[in-house]
Amino acid sequence: MSERCIILLGIGHTNAHVVREWARKPIPNCRLVCVSTFPKATYSGMLPGTLAGQFRPDEMEIDLPRLTAKAGATLVHSEVTGIDWKRQMLHLADADSIKFDVMSVGVGSVPSQIDSVRAEQVVAVKPMQTFLKRLAVHFDKTMPRAGSQMQISIIGGGVAGLEIAMCLLSGLRFELPLIKIRLRILTADDDVATELPAHARAKLRRIIANRGVEVIRNARVAEVTECGVMVADGRHYDSDCVIWATGAKAPPVVDRLELPVDDRGFLLTNSTLQSVTGLPVFAVGDTGSIVGATVPKAGVYAVRQSPVLWHNLQAVLSDEPLMEFRPQRSFLKLLNTGDGKALLQYKSLSIHARWCWTLKTWIDRRFLRQFQV
């Protein structure tokens, strides 16, 4: 029998689990090829804490060459240029095409609505692997003199945008004590963190206000100029830096796979995470959209999909039944508020305390230790 091949396109939370399992028990007569445009994977849960100065940048990273080498997998650094489904060949820009038997796509997401903005001062949170470097370069160009004011606008009022706002403010106030930092969040909604229940939103609004973060509601961005942000109703906000942290849409590479997608461009799958086409391809994490299920684009779901994906990759190769992924209805949320505390939210419970930050940090570091070899 000829050697079979599994391709992992993108190494996010779910696909990284496959690499870890491969290191423990590789599939006989099969090779694992990991295709990534970056040499490192970034754990989103620790990005806010890194901005606050609570962690070093390397503490939130997974070294993909080391991870794949330990697992005996092949790592290919390249962009995808196209795919031939009849021959099951993945075409790459900087490497030979790869013939595969089954593929898992976990290329994450990118911020929505950013295509219409071309101004130089916009710094998108994603790709997260390069965010800190791009942000540092921008600050180097726009840093005001001591005693003056720096104005920062964060576009997007979801949980991710709020965490970034509070933690970045803490980090900058520590690093730049002689500069007055004015930070605002602009959201198109009439409230922040609409994905949270009302009681948690109310508590979060109080925390944000106490931290000195301004919130501008019903502010749909129309244009980003050299001077700042213009919203649809004509309001203008001076900004030295604009950080884009809006909701998710699919990255351009998904279009090149020529598979059915939802209205945001994510690959449509059934409950087994397999493409609705029935082709030997799975879409996981943010990249997939399960037909008939409402699954938020959150890392916790990507992690929970990991054992299902590992089982189903093996099942396809052995012609066995596939396992279904059943998303949980509620899960523990921990938001870093940048002040040594975190907001814990679970069902009707919401607590803001230092021990919540300690719990979040323990969970995050325990997760990353699995992959930091």
Tens digits of residue pLDDT in 31-45: 999 999 999 999 999
Residue range 139-149, pLDDT digits in tens: 988 887 777 89
Domain 4-110+249-318 has CATH 3.60.15.10: no
CA 126 to chain CA centroid, nearest Å: 7
Residue range 58-82, pLDDT digits in tens: 999 999 999 999 999 999 999 999 9
Strand order in the sheet with 228-231: 221-224, 228-231, 236-238
Tokens 């995050």 — which residue? 364
- Spell out the domain ranges in the chain: 4-110+249-318, 111-247
Banded model confidence at residue 227, pLDDT cuts 50, 70, 90: confident
Tell which CATH architecture fits domain 111-247: 3-Layer(bba) Sandwich (3.50)
- CA torsion sign for 249, 253, 254, 258 is positive
pTM of the model: 0.92
Overall average pLDDT of the 75-97 stretch: 95
Burial of 191 (0-12, 13-18, 19+ CB in 10 A): middle
Average per-residue pLDDT in the chain?
92
Banded model confidence at residue 119, pLDDT cuts 50, 70, 90: low
Q: For residue 238, what are the β-bridge partners?
A: 228
| Polymer length of the chain | 373
Let me know if the fold of 4-110+249-318 is the same as that of 111-247: yes
